[in-house]
Structure 1
Amino acid sequence: MSQATVREITLKILVQVGEQGGFSHIILNQAVIKNDLKQNDKGLLTELVYGTLQHQYTLDFYLEPFITNKKLDRWVRWLLRMSVYQMEYLDRVPDHAVINEAVTISKRKGHKGISGFVNGVLRSMQRKGVPSLDNIDNQLEKLSIATSHPFWLVRMWSEQYGFDLTEEMCHSNIRHKNVSIRVNILKQSRETMQELLLEEGIETKQSNLSDQGLIVTKGNVIYSSYFPNHFSIQDETSMLVTEMMGLEETDTVLDSCSAPGGKTTHIAEKMNDKGTIHAHDLHAKKIKLVSEKADELGLSSIQASALDARKLHETYDKETFDRILLDAPCSGLGVLRSKPDIKYNKHKSDLDGLAIVQQDLLQAVLPLMKQHGKIVYSTCTVNKQENEEQIKQLVNEEQVEVDPSFFEELPSVCKELIGISEYGIQIFPQDFDADGFFITRLQKKK
């Protein structure tokens, strides 16, 4: 059997993710390894997978007049989506080449009738052009299709944050985001790491959100000889979570939902690998990732084990910890640029269930905080129900408050953001071309 082409591999991934519920980033990485792809092919595969997923609703809108509600095999629909994505969004490959490749794939996977149908649809689209989004009157529906976000999500965001901010966020979510890294300062300074990466042809600039952060402006850090021991790949806004914990080297720290370990190891680095960090997660398989990451970075202050954060009171006495991080399970609506499949798999009802879990977790870790301790609560989502409303309910019902010094200690680039409220800071994806995050810090009422 001849080796599968990049577009055949792409199609297989799209069907797995779109129809079988697989995670795009995991399946993509597995495919790269399995097929031993060259660098250029890896780039094309990534572009085609994420681009097609990212624009799925828009592609369906473009296709609808040409398929006239015809019942299609799922793989055929994904093949058409992938082909239209290339024709409408990419300039490197001419339309005739895209169409020929699609016809070849459909011949291999189907029969002559399917290949003829695929050829007819794509050539008709090439000849007539795609329908205009301007014909959609409802502004929420138009934004939903133009940026490929579910209508319920666009409506929810518009109700919570207003249409203009929602529009900006939705368009931001279909653009490429920055790749950033966190330097392991126990091995290299940030400045030295910049110089070493530059020698490998990788250009970076310093982050304003973390004094360990670098934003990659040229090159691929995955292939650096210093990865993963001298730096971690981590989003800037994710780094800010640990930066806002106010850590001291002698602290006893709890990371209650720690997998896969990015923030846990950042805590250890900030504390110069001193003090004690108790890292837990519900599943042993996930906790293994935390331990492996700590070993890669040469960190010894992390004690990782599988425990349900809602039952930590069975293991620890009250007022055990100086600092607690609750990076809570959430809907992930802040990371849609890097995980576009999330937006198609989430429903409004899912958010209600998550909010209950988050409240249970907050209630569970509160008693474990020392009298003068601090709790940082964070999520990688943009949703008031999981963020501001959680904290509002907590401070109204419990003897805790948002730490006023939290706002004073925010980096200067955050202090004028529209997402600051009395309950914390909501960072939107467009703020730094990074992930959307909510962060706040709690203490016992004075």
Structure 2
Amino acid sequence: MNKSVKKSPRNLALTTLDRVLGRGSYSNLQLNQTLQNSDLSSADKRFVTTIVYGVLQRKLTLEYWLSPFIKKEPQSWVKTLLLMSIYQYQYLDRVPDWAVTDEAIKIAKLRGNPGIRKFVTGVLHAFLRTGARDFNEIQDPVKRYSITGSLPEWLIKTLINQYGEDETVKIVESINDPAHLSLRVNTAITDASEAIQLLAADGVQVRTSKVAADGLVVEKGNALESRAFADGLVTVQDESAMLAVESMHLKGNERVLDACAAPGGKTSQIAAALDPQTGQVDALDIHQHKVKLIQKNMRRLGVSDRVKVYQLDARKVNDQFDDETFDKILVDAPCSGIGLIRRKPEIRYDKTLDNSESLHQIQLSILDAVAPKLKKGGIIIYSTCTIFQQENEQTVLKFLKQHPEYCLLRTQTARAIKNDRQKKTLTILPSDFGSDGFFIGTLQRIK
């Protein structure tokens, strides 16, 4: 029995969660490693994935429900076992409560001593008798939003300050919805019609993105095992992220700098829009292993002939390039990544407001460095995958204050996304389209 419990989906989910929560491992990397080393069926792998991401997404909610049943903090793995059991009780309707309880007790017996097994048994039976306590017991609205959305209170306060309470509620209500997989059609070698046809041949059903012109949203099937993906006709990219390059309005004959390029999704998107005879992308990353990753991705997507990759800190572009070298520049800047919470749920527990403030300085230093490298009349697209204004609008405004040779243009996308907005910059909230949170500012050099 011990052997079957050790290799069971729930025990593997517990191992993964304990490493993410206790050791700071990245959820996607740790989960991939766990699943690759297992002999689970496809259904069991999906079950492990559901539990891991579900517990990470709902951690503060689950802790709120657990707290009345424990008097002192148990060992980390014991607490995680209880949290994942409560998650299954509350969110997985098709999983019987008895099955959750039975296997949790077996895992406790396998990993711990008789006292731990008895403790786990008692807590879970008590929870099932009493049920989850009501959120309405929380009087403070900030704390209530924090618990219901499983977002730290500082993050809730920041969102309310920057977007208002009504918009924050929409974000809280949407942020833990499952992230969908979106694909970008690689227009360097195919078009949407052919890509959709080839995906369908491998049982992958998609719909056309309402956000990005070259985007497809997967509704059924495993796109990553399709021939279309293997042959580079499509690549994984979030709908919001596609808008940064889309808003560059490339004509095909430009020389473009991608200042923060890894892993190369936007680099390949730029390259796909260029003529290999007259256009070129110069892609930078500070790390050698990421440079190799960019090069690998360019080969898979068939655009290596128009991409040059350099191991270079974007703040040191002066070491490599003359002034006024580029027609257009993309600065997809390092950021707090808060817009990715739906896809990377654990980052919400690791970030602080101070992190965001320090990133603002790094973003400015990159913009300052690349600014002279743009030709007059050219544009810099500044983008981030966060929704914090101190990393977005405030970075753009401070750059403009320090660089009178630049002005702010209105960001325009192919599908005229949020065209009724008052601001020239474009912010996509996670609650807008079910895609990642994202920001784009368009800066033109005028002298």
Q: Residues of 2 paired with 1:177 and 1:11: CA distance? A: 22
The reply on whether 1:34 has 2:59 as its aligned counterpart is no
Match of 2:364 in 1: 359
Which residue number corresponds to residue 249 of structure 1? 252
Output one character per residue of 1:269-304: Cα deviation in whole Å (capped at 9) or x when no partner: 111445111111111111111111001111121111
Equivalenced residues, count: 441
Which amino acid in the other structure matches residue 415 of structure 1?
A: N
Residue 90 (structure 1) aligns with: 92
Q: Deviations over 1:38-59 (max 9, x none)?
A: 2111211111000000000000
1:398 counterpart residue number? 403
Q: In the TM superposition, what is the alpha-carbon distance from 1:218 to its structure 2 partner?
A: 1.8
Rounded to whole Å, the distance in 2 between the matches of 1:410 and 1:164 is: 29
Deviation per CA, 1:228-259, whole angstroms, max 9, x where unpaired?
42210110010111101121221111101000
Instruction: Please name the residue that 1:126 is paired with.
Output: 128
Whether 1:50 aligns to 2:49 is no
Contact 1:206 1:215 in 2 (8 A): yes
Matches of residues 177-216 of structure 1 in structure 2 within 5 Å?
Answer: 177-216=179-218
Give yes or no for contact 2:406–2:444 (8 Å, CA) kept in 1: yes
Cα offset for 1:336?
Answer: 0.1
Residue pair 1:174, 1:337 contacting (<8 A) in 2 also: yes
**In the alignment, what sits opposite 2:313?**
308
Structure 2 distance, partners of 1:28, 1:114, is 26
CA contact 1:188–1:230 (8 Å) conserved in 2? yes
2-side partners of 1:384 and 1:249: how far apart?
A: 32
Alpha carbons 2:335, 2:391 under 8 Å: kept: yes
Correspondences of 1:313-392 after superposition (within 5 Å): 313-392=318-397
**Distance verdict in 2 for CA 1:249–1:104, change over 3 Å:** same
Q: Distance in 2 between matches of 1:58 and 1:296?
A: 42
Instruction: Tell me the amino acid that sits aligned with residue 309 of structure 1.
Output: A
Per-residue deviation, 1:183: 1.1
Q: 2:288 — aligned with what?
A: 284
CA-CA distance at 1:403 after TM superposition: 4.5
Is the CA contact 2:188–2:303 (under 8 Å) kept in the aligned structure 1? no
Cα offset, 1:210, TM superposition: 2.7
The equivalent residue for 2:445 is 444
Hey, what does 1:297 align to over in structure 2? Answer: 301
Match of 2:229, SS state, is coil
Q: Secondary structure at the match of 1:210?
A: coil
Give the aligned partner of residue 428 of structure 1. 429
Partners of 2:40 and 2:360 lie apart in 1 by: 42
| Preserved CA contact (<8 Å) 1:312 1:364 | yes
The answer on whether the counterparts of 2:178 and 2:342 sit within 8 Å (CA) in structure 1 is: yes
Amino acid of the structure 1 residue aligned with 2:368: Q
Q: Distance in 2 between matches of 1:244 and 1:72?
A: 51
For the residues of structure 2 that align with 1:383 and 1:14, how far apart are their CA atoms? 28
TM superposition shift of 1:414:
2.4
Shift of 1:307: 0.3
SS in 2 for 1:298: coil
What secondary structure does 1:393 align onto? helix
**What SS does the aligned partner of 2:136 have?**
helix
Matching residue's letter, 1:436: G
1:400–1:163 Cα change, 3 Å: farther
Partner SS for 2:219: strand
The amino acid across from 2:363 in the alignment is Q
- Note the 1:167-182 alignment, pairs <5 A: 167-182=169-184
Distance 1:400 1:384 in 2: 23
Partner of 2:166: 164
SS in 2 for 1:63: helix
Asked whether the equivalents of residues 9 and 31 of structure 1 are also in contact (C-alpha less than 8 Å), the reply is yes
Distance in 1 (CA, whole Å) between partners of 2:417 and 2:410 is: 16
Equivalent residue, structure 2, for 1:7:
10
Structure 2 residue 107 is the aligned partner of structure 1 residue 105: yes
* SS at 1:326 equivalent: strand
1:234 matched residue in structure 2: 237
TM-score by length of 1: 0.96
Distance 1:218 1:402, change over 3 A: farther
Q: Are 2:143 and 1:138 equivalent residues in the alignment? A: no
1:134-162 Cα distance to aligned partner (Å, 9 max, x none): 01111111000111000000001101110
- Matched residues in 2 for 1:272 and 1:244: separation? 18
Displacement of 1:206:
1.0
* Equivalent residues of 1:394, 1:400 under 8 A apart: no
Gaps of 5+ in 2: none
- 8 Å CA contact 1:278, 1:303 repeated in 2: yes
CA distance in 1: counterparts of 2:276 and 2:200, whole angstroms: 27
Report the residue type matching 2:57 in the other structure.
Answer: Q
Are the structure 2 counterparts of residues 345 and 98 from structure 1 closer, same or farther at C-alpha, using a change threshold of 3 Å? same
Mapped pair 1:16 → 2:19: yes
Rounded Cα–Cα distance in structure 2 between residues aligned with 1:205 and 1:430: 19
Specify which of 415, 422, 425 is matched with residue 419 of structure 2: 415
One-letter code aligned to 1:116? K
How far is the alpha carbon of 1:410 from its aligned partner? 5.4
SS of residue paired to 1:175: coil
Q: Determine the C-alpha separation between the residues in 2 that align with 1:36 and 1:403.
A: 54
